[in-house]
Structure 1
């Protein structure tokens, strides 16, 4: 009741005679998020309000990330400290949160695209110049704007232990929930980079997991097994397993390695064709060269899309066994356990792509055929020209002689 009264008072308030709190966007465990308006610069902003007990953590996170400038990271504009609360003014992103992306049931291409962009944000933050890990890469830290750019938020905040403890049983569990717990939030280490990389894999898995069409959240599998939608490409399922299951012999532990694998996989996928009435863009967000990062721009195909691809509800297939089964299998056979290709993935995209390719090839073959020449007509034309020149020559010779 007290929180509700506080929210009612906060909405409509002007902070420091500049920022108007217009409406409540989200009520979280540690902060409240508003849509606000900067009355000086005349622009919409997002404003986080953190309670007193969380002020030290948020202030430390802002000190570590205030200089960040990257198209996949939400910008911080201002910090306001008051006796009972701390206000963080950020860039306002109009787009879809992670729950909306789950309901959209993204095609495999756009799931890979999301992973590429999140890895780019982690790689930027982890460069030797910045040395910052995320540490709290949960669904609440992800939003995709209307142009298709994935924006990452909440860098260097304390880890949501409930979330990562629940997802720690993948592959049998047994490993610490987070690496290097003695380090302050945001401080980078090899173990924490591995944790961030695994967190990306968990997000990608949730986007491809078998679920009800209207689900806005995915519960961790009780038995530690990953189950994917039937149209998920086996290569993508295997890549996610290598990122999530720590015991995998080809475990991926850095954002750079995952980024390279996702980009290579994206080149084999093709974005779905948009409906004629669709005008929404959802391409991968290209990043300009950064002096400290030098991330090459993605080279895979771009296209317009709604990002919606219908999939059979409840259609799931098991691809990763529990940790006990995994440990009991000999080394040469472990990789086969990770992906069980019970049926070939089918999707509207691949079928249409094959038809379009066949149509293009037929068109090229038709255009390449040489045109037939009418030989009798060509011979007749030659005889007429010969007779004409012969007649002219005979007439001139007759005139000259006489």
Structure 2
């Protein structure tokens, strides 16, 4: 760490007479990331600086992923080894880190879409010709650019032990923190595919979790329960629970399976473009605001007995027959799932309801039907008949005489 701290103050340095270190972007535990400038190709780049003790891990990761070319994966340009450090030259992405995404309070649709894009990157890396797992899919590996494209970094690196250890309380069922620890880092296996899939679920949960508006991080709950914000659609909460909770009877353990279900939800939640000249209605998933003194309830709450129950502010939460329960916290009203006894029911009709609600919200305005005045039409016809009859009689009289 001492060498890393020394490198972080050396802005203005030119690496290999080509890459200018302009400013420090992020200081991590194993590397520092700079914004730099490629003076040969005249373009902005990112330079990841790793100290000597971490060089073997980074070099192995670069060898495994150097040929990656996918819109959701940050590209690698160059690798420079010096006596005291390793410099990885990467594509520079101007966008929002995970902490900024937390503060922006993404809509359920955008949270689901983020999961779809992460799964696309994992599916690309896991194809038979590559067989690479991520292994370190923590918030520090995620950035979303200005176009809304999610970009993934840090493929095939050792996992962040502190991060995944802390989150193992959330439905991990006492299993190992990392599957198949005896395999080389980044090598694909069914266990590591399941680890990466669960890591996606953890990221989505953090974006949907109850928290203060200015929070840049989310901490796991001590009791292992999943607590969602009040405007999170229950079908999205259920899908996240099935991904995070390993002992869930319908546990999702592959990026392909998670991607398929997220795509279905994204299609149901995606707001249609506003009609030209009209204000876009509020999204169908938005919570309903109620008068002061009443507890507001989110739309799409299950109507079955034992589903989402209303409790007064300040009441304690409890699980009702393994179904959803509610609770109140400093972050507002939330839905709670118990990681040890989650509901196995998934409301498959919810997507259809969402689509129907969206269609109704954006239905075309009724066009008034013009009624025909039949008496006027009959009168007009009689007048025309009289005119033609008179004209015919007049012509016949002239021709006869």
TM-score over 0.5 (shorter chain)? yes
Q: Does 1:357 pair with 2:353?
A: no
Q: Is the 8 A contact 2:14 2:21 kept in 1?
A: yes
Bigger drift between 384-393 and 104-113 goes to 384-393
Aligned runs of 1:23-102 on 2, under 5 Å? 23-102=23-102
In structure 2, the residue matched to 1:124 is 124
After TM superposition, give the deviation of residue 28 of structure 1 in Å.
0.6
Between the two proteins, the alignment pairs up a number of residues equal to 340
Report the Cα distance in structure 2 between the residues aligned to 1:112 and 1:355, rounded to whole angstroms.
17
In structure 1, the residue matched to 2:400 is 401
Report the Cα distance in structure 1 between the residues aligned to 2:339 and 2:193, rounded to whole angstroms.
24
Indicate the structure with greater helix content.
Answer: 1
Aligned residues: CA RMSD: 2.5
In structure 1, the residue matched to 2:382 is 383
Aligned runs of 1:162-173 on 2, under 5 Å? 162-171=162-171, 173=173
Report the Cα distance in structure 1 between the residues aligned to 2:94 and 2:8, rounded to whole angstroms.
22
After TM superposition, give the deviation of residue 221 of structure 1 in Å.
1.4
In structure 1, the residue matched to 2:336 is 319
After TM superposition, give the deviation of residue 4 of structure 1 in Å.
4.6
Report the Cα distance in structure 1 between the residues aligned to 2:24 and 2:259, rounded to whole angstroms.
35
Q: Is the 8 A contact 1:110 1:271 kept in 2?
A: no
Q: Is the 8 A contact 1:225 1:318 kept in 2?
A: no
Report the Cα distance in structure 2 between the residues aligned to 1:205 and 1:355, rounded to whole angstroms.
24
In structure 1, the residue matched to 2:216 is 216
CA distances 1:58-110 after superposition (whole Å, capped 9, x unpaired): 11101111111111111111111111111111111111000000111111111
Aligned runs of 1:3-402 on 2, under 5 Å? 3-9=4-10, 11-171=11-171, 173-271=173-271, 314-317=331-334, 319-321=336-338, 323=340, 326=341, 335=343, 357=360, 360=363, 363-364=365-366, 366-367=367-368, 369=369, 371-402=370-401
Taking CA–CA contacts closer than 8 Å with sequence separation of 6 or more, which of the two structures ends up with the larger relative contact order? Answer: 1
After TM superposition, give the deviation of residue 358 of structure 1 in Å.
5.4
Structure 1 runs not aligned, ≥5 long: 277-311, 327-333, 340-344
Report the Cα distance in structure 1 between the residues aligned to 2:194 and 2:237, rounded to whole angstroms.
19
Structure 2 runs not aligned, ≥5 long: 277-328
Bigger drift between 63-72 and 164-173 goes to 164-173
After TM superposition, give the deviation of residue 374 of structure 1 in Å.
1.9
Q: Is the 8 A contact 2:19 2:38 kept in 1?
A: yes
* TM-score in terms of structure 2 length: 0.79
Q: 1:224 to 1:76 in 2, by over 3 A?
A: same
Q: 1:380 to 1:316 in 2, by over 3 A?
A: closer
Q: 1:175 to 1:355 in 2, by over 3 A?
A: closer
Runs of 4+ aligned structure 1 residues displaced above 6 Å come to: none
Q: 1:172 to 1:81 in 2, by over 3 A?
A: closer
